[in-house]
Amino acid sequence: MATRKKEVMVNWHDNPMARALRRLSPPTTHEEFPAEHPNYERLAIPHSFKPQMSVLEAMAAALGMFLRIVLSSLLFAVLGACSLMARSRIHNLLLRLPVLLALLVLFALGVLLLVAATRWVEYAVTRLRS
């Protein structure tokens, strides 16, 4: 004769683990969001994409983000190929590590300059409007 497991009803309000998780989670009350604010302001919107942006500002921000993604991917591919060639041509381990470290620093500087340049262009385009 097969026995069935007895189903246990869990009261989540009395469960100590559920209470601990509720204490860790952010408050979800609606008092922190006044009713006079629109619904989209309750969401975590990135600061660069404000709902009050003009069409030109939105296009400049989207194009800047696209250029950052494409150009940093291209930079990663080129420097990755260079580091692979450097690793395969330098047989001495003591010489290989500084060269690869220098290429890593070069990549970090390249991405930093790329981000700074695209932000500067975005800023110039948005200031051109005003």
pLDDT single digits (tens) 114-127 = 989 988 887 887 77
pLDDT at 48: 53
Checking 97-104 for CB contacts under 8 A at 24+ apart, the result is: 103/79
pLDDT at 36: 61
Domain boundary assignment for the chain: 49-129
Which stretches of the chain score pLDDT less than 70?
A: 1-14, 22, 25-51, 129-130
Separation CA 109–CA 100 (nearest Å): 14
pLDDT at 44: 58
pLDDT at 32: 53
